[in-house]
Amino acid sequence: MLDDILSLFRKKARLVILGLDGAGKTTLVNYIKRGDPGTTFPTVGASFERIKVRNLLLEVWDIGGQRHLRKLWDQYVENADAVIFMIDAADRSRFQEAKEEFWRVVSLTKDIPLLVLANKADLPEAATVFEIADYLELSKLKSVTWQVMWVSALTGMGLRDAFAWIYERVTGKKLLKPMEIEGIVVIDPHGEIVFSHPKEYADRFGAFISAIDSFAKDSLKEIPSSVEMGEKRIIMVRRHRMTAAAVISRGSPETSVISMLVELIRAISTQEDERKIKNIIKAMEPEKY
């Protein structure tokens, strides 16, 4: 009864999830629907689920990505209010194929919100959102509202932010508080601070940062970690024996911070120039995550 009444106020929207076979689309739907990634089989045709986000009822079409099914995508995209394009971020051998399909989808979507999910971020070899955005040439997307996010349909990482983004774009209402970055540091394998943003951040929090580093060395493997500290949160990532940590205000999107820290370690360890490194941080400014 209450549900019937509520449904009068509930807005409906149609969300279509596309991407190559094996990208993780059905795993994502399972996780959102049941809180468990479950075991999946390749989707034959399309499968339908209803997912509630606050007062928004999403009618979700999860469509098979095998080559012979891709012609099916067109008719679903035509009536969609939002599209998710999912890519297996750990499978670089299929990036080219994914790129071709992505741009075909873009040509069909017109002006509806388009969310690119770089999935399987739990795998250490997963490409960062920066790498994916570069590869797909997302900066060429002019008219559509789009975003790229780092997620794991297996662990649930980033999925809340992904659906919040869809909600915000479809309803025009804000759901999440934007997150602010207070400071970022990168520590090399000798415990030296090799990067600090802003510059004086490492001086102010030097002792605190070495504490983070020894914690990271003892207990962090390739898995990102986040520690709450009152209203703030520290996000730590460890790669190539380096540690990167960001102190942020609580809010979203956290996974993009993780992706940014991974990219930062990569850029510093390959000695990219300073401008490139600045751009990595700049990309984190609100609305550009």
Residues that bind ligand GTP (CB under 6 A): 19, 21-27, 40, 42-43, 64-66, 119-120, 122-123, 152-154
What value, to the nearest 5°, has the Cα angle with vertex 143 and ends 102 and 258? 60
Task: Answer positive or negative: Cα dihedral of 35, 41, 43, 44.
Answer: negative
Q: How far is the CB of 149 from Mg ion (least distance, A)?
A: 19
Residue number, 243 or 255, with CB nearest to ligand GTP:
255
Q: How far is the CB of 261 from ligand GTP (least distance, A)?
A: 19
Q: How far is the CB of 21 from ligand GTP (least distance, A)?
A: 3
Residue number, 138 or 154, with CB nearest to ligand GTP:
154
Q: How far is the CB of 28 from ligand GTP (least distance, A)?
A: 7
Of 16, 26, 80, 83, the one binding Mg ion by CB under 5 A: 26
Of 20, 28, 29, 43, the one binding Mg ion by CB under 5 A: 43
Contact by Cβ (8 Å): 236, 218: no
Q: How far is the CB of 188 from ligand GTP (least distance, A)?
A: 29
Residue number, 26 or 109, with CB nearest to ligand GTP:
26
75 is catalytic: no
Q: How far is the CB of 156 from ligand GTP (least distance, A)?
A: 9
Residue 4 to residues 1, 7, 8, 9, 13, Cα–Cα distance (Å): 5, 5, 7, 9, 18
Choose the binding region for Mg ion from 26-34, 121-129, 177-185, 211-219 (rule: CB under 5 A): 26-34
Q: Supply the DSSP string of 239-257, one letter for each residue.
A: ETTEEEEEEEES-B-HHHH
Residue number, 66 or 249, with CB nearest to ligand GTP:
66
Q: Supply the DSSP string of 47-113, one letter for each residue.
A: EEEEEEETTEEEEEEEE--SGGGGGGHHHHHHT-SEEEEEEETT-GGGHHHHHHHHHHHHHHHTTS-
CA 19 – CA 151 distance, rounded (Å): 14
The contact mask relative to Mg ion for 160-189 (x = CB under 5 A, - = no) is ------------------------------
Residue number, 120 or 160, with CB nearest to ligand GTP:
120
Residue number, 26 or 109, with CB nearest to Mg ion:
26
Torsion-angle region of residue 160: left (phi > 0), alpha (psi -120 to 50) or beta?
Answer: alpha
Pairing mode of beta strands 114-119, 242-249? unpaired
- Indicate the angle between helix axes 254-269 and 159-171, nearest 10 degrees: 120
Burial of residue 177 (number of CB atoms within 10 Å: 0-12, 13-18, 19+): exposed
CA 100 – CA 120 distance, rounded (Å): 20
Choosing among ligand GTP, Mg ion, none, which partner's interface includes residue 24 (Cβ < 5 to 8 Å by kind)? ligand GTP
Choosing among ligand GTP, Mg ion, none, which partner's interface includes residue 21 (Cβ < 5 to 8 Å by kind)? ligand GTP
Choosing among ligand GTP, Mg ion, none, which partner's interface includes residue 27 (Cβ < 5 to 8 Å by kind)? ligand GTP
Which positions are catalytic? 66
